[in-house]
């Protein structure tokens, strides 16, 4: 006797995880982190939502796997945010340099280089930076949504610029400068973007 299998569902085999990741990448790239749902991703992959939770645990973990993120922000941000609002710029820049000067650099470089030439990867990288990092950092400052978004975008411009000049293009003296020198040089600008007086983009008088 054979047991009837639910139509449209995949069994738990090695191909199932790959199917979920493929569906997740498409969903996150098309609808962003907030717009994509576990249920919709499971439907696209032909599996039960419970199986997605079984493999990945949560939407955040699924997103990190889909992006192939080199680090998990949940493991880094508590220490960053503990510095308090007045030292947030210094803490954020320090975190960036610790990550990129460490073992995660090869995976990070692969992700950034892929994003430069691939629109979907660029969307995923943007969602990672915005939803997993910047939103959590700026969210500690109790700002109106539009102002938080603008300040986060300014911070992103600085952080991405550091990654491109120091690690991708290797522009000197940034490429070989000690991390503490870069923190001293860059943190005041990032701090101003976060809490200081700045002409915010997207705002008309």
- CA 30, CA 12: separation in Å to the nearest integer? 26
CB atoms within 10 A of CB 115: 19
Decide if 165 contacts 193 (C-beta within 8 A). no
Residues of the chain above pLDDT 70, percent: 92
Residue 101 lies in a domain: yes
Mean pLDDT, range 187-197, rounded to an integer: 96
- pLDDT tens sequence across 68-88: 888 888 888 999 899 899 999
Residues 84 and 150 in one domain: yes
Half-sphere exposure of 98 (CA within 13 A, CB side): 12
Is pLDDT at 124 greater than 80 in this prediction?
yes
Mean pLDDT, range 96-115, rounded to an integer: 90
| Residue 94: band (very low, low, confident or very high) from pLDDT cuts 50, 70, 90 | very high
Query: pTM above 0.85?
Result: no
Half-sphere exposure of 23 (CA within 13 A, CB side): 21
Higher pLDDT, 159 or 201: 159
| Residue 115: band (very low, low, confident or very high) from pLDDT cuts 50, 70, 90 | confident
> pLDDT value at position 204?
53
Is pLDDT at 149 greater than 80 in this prediction?
yes
Residues 90 and 176 in one domain: yes
- CA 171, CA 42: separation in Å to the nearest integer? 44
Scanning 82-144, the segments in alpha helix (DSSP H) are: 88-100, 105-117, 119-127, 135-138
Q: Largest Cα–Cα distance of the chain, in whole Å?
A: 75
> pLDDT value at position 203?
63
Q: For residue 186, which of 162, 203, 169 has the smallest C-alpha distance? A: 162
Phi, psi of 13 (to 5 degrees): -125, 175
Phi, psi of 68 (to 5 degrees): 60, 45
Residue 8 lies in a domain: no
CATH number of the CATH domain containing 82: 1.10.357.10
> pLDDT value at position 10?
44
Mean pLDDT (the chain) is: 87
- pLDDT tens sequence across 10-38: 444 668 888 999 998 888 888 888 888 99
Residues 100 and 188 in one domain: yes
> pLDDT value at position 107?
87
Residue 2 lies in a domain: no
> pLDDT value at position 3?
40
- Show the domain range for 19: 14-67
Residues 41 and 132 in one domain: no
Encoding tokens for residue 11? Answer: 């069994």
Mean pLDDT, range 47-64, rounded to an integer: 89
Is pLDDT at 205 greater than 60 in this prediction?
no
* Among candidate residues 34, 49, 67, the one where a domain is terminated: 67
CB atoms within 10 A of CB 145: 8
Decide if 42 contacts 80 (C-beta within 8 A). no
> pLDDT value at position 69?
80
Residues 190 and 96 in one domain: yes
């Amino acid at each position: 006797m054979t047991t009837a299998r639910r139509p449209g569902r995949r069994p738990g085999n090695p191909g199932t995880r790959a199917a979920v990741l493929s569906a997740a990448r498409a969903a996150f790239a098309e609808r962003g982190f907030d717009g994509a749902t576990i249920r919709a991703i499971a439907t696209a992959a032909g599996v039960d939502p419970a199986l997605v939770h079984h493999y990945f645990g949560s939407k955040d973990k699924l997103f990190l796997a889909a992006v192939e993120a080199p680090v998990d922000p949940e493991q880094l941000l508590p220490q960053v945010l503990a510095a308090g609002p007045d030292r947030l710029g210094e803490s954020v820049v320090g975190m960036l340099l610790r990550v990129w000067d460490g073992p995660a650099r090869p995976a990070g470089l692969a992700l950034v280089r892929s994003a430069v030439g691939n629109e979907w990867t660029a969307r995923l990288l943007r969602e990672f930076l915005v939803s997993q990092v910047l939103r959590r950092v700026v969210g500690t400052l109790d700002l109106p949504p539009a102002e938080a978004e603008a300040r986060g975008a300014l911070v992103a411009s600085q952080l991405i610029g550091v990654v491109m000049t120091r690690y991708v293009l290797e522009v000197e003296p940034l490429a070989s400068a000690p991390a503490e020198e870069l923190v001293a040089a860059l943190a005041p600008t990032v701090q101003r973007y976060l809490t200081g007086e700045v002409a915010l983009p997207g705002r008309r008088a």
